[in-house]
Amino acid sequence: MLKRLEVKTTTRTQLVDITPHIKSLLRSENFSTGFIMVYTPHTTCGVTINENADPLVREDIIDTLNRLVPVDIGYGHAEGNADAHIKSSLIGSSENVFVESGTLVLGTWQGIFLVEFDGPRQRSVLIKMVTD
């Protein structure tokens, strides 16, 4: 089963916690056991799993990526968002998460994030539910 989640980002670079939306989707679909693939079909954003308890971790991730891949250092890509493409490649476009008894199998502090690098934009996140 494939479902689509629409996410509106508000700044050029941000981590948006989509965990609550995915949990709600699992409940509404009565999805109990298996795994989900969380995928974004965009070239300037990504999906990652990381800490969602301390919002400073999100800032640290963004700050570090901006230091590693500055916004504009004379890239050849003419659209002005080459850094976003590179950061997206570093983060990746998907994550897989086990589901047991209707619950995401995540660590205590983990959340699932859409990572925006070229916002603000309307983004799609595709969630494929696979049963055992």
Report phi then psi at 56, rounded to 5: -70, -25
Just give the CATH number of 2-131. 2.60.120.460
Do residues 92 and 46 lie in contact, with contact meaning Cβ atoms separated by under 8 Å? yes
How many angstroms separate the CA atoms of 78 and 82, rounded? 8
pLDDT at 78: 84
pLDDT at 45: 98
Of 66, 31, 55, residue with least CA distance to 109: 55
Do residues 4 and 124 lie in contact, with contact meaning Cβ atoms separated by under 8 Å? yes
Locate 10 and state its tokens.
């508000």
Q: Where are the domains of the chain?
A: 2-131
pLDDT at 93: 98
Do residues 98 and 105 lie in contact, with contact meaning Cβ atoms separated by under 8 Å? yes
- Can you list the residues of the chain whose pLDDT is less than 70? none
Q: State how beta strands 94-100 and 14-17 pair.
A: unpaired
pLDDT at 72: 82
